[in-house]
Amino acid sequence: MRKAFTLLLATLLVAGCGIVYRQPVFQGNLLESRNVEQLQVGLTRGQVFSLLGSPAVSDPFHQSRWDYVATARRRTGDTEIKNLTLWFEGDALARWEGEYFPEADNELAVEMRRFGNIARDKDKPRRPPPGG
């Protein structure tokens, strides 16, 4: 009984100190700034699809609206939600509004390299260790 209590207490202390790693999670459409900046009134649905990809939400009752939704949950804090909405008139882009995570894929890759979760390119030469 005493060992179980000690183990439980140690587990709670480690979990409470933030030592337990929580991986950041990005879901949805991670859009690149250079693609969103190319949006202009009059683009066809096909052209928008080529720039941004398929929308996360495609409502059959509102076919003139595309929603690009993305969420981000960091190691600590609440989940952040961003939504970029595009409206079409016929086949032409009429307007858009909202937010997105610019360059979130690059930011996530840099963050993961810090923790060593990104596989290294086998063809890339490795740097010698410091001092050697």
Contacts of 109 by beta carbon, 8 Å cutoff, 6+ apart: 118
* Residues 31/52, Cβ–Cβ less than 8 Å: yes
> Do residues 104 and 70 lie in contact, with contact meaning Cβ atoms separated by under 8 Å?
yes
pLDDT for the residue 132: 53
CA distance 65 to 94: 10
Evaluate whether 25 touches 83 at the Cβ level (below 8 Å).
Answer: no
Q: What is the pLDDT along the chain (132 residues), one digit of tens a residue?
A: 888 888 887 777 766 555 566 677 778 887 888 888 999 999 999 999 999 999 887 778 888 999 999 888 876 778 888 899 999 999 999 999 998 877 665 666 666 666 655 555 666 666 665 655
Give the number of residues written for the chain: 132
Residue 120: the pLDDT is 59
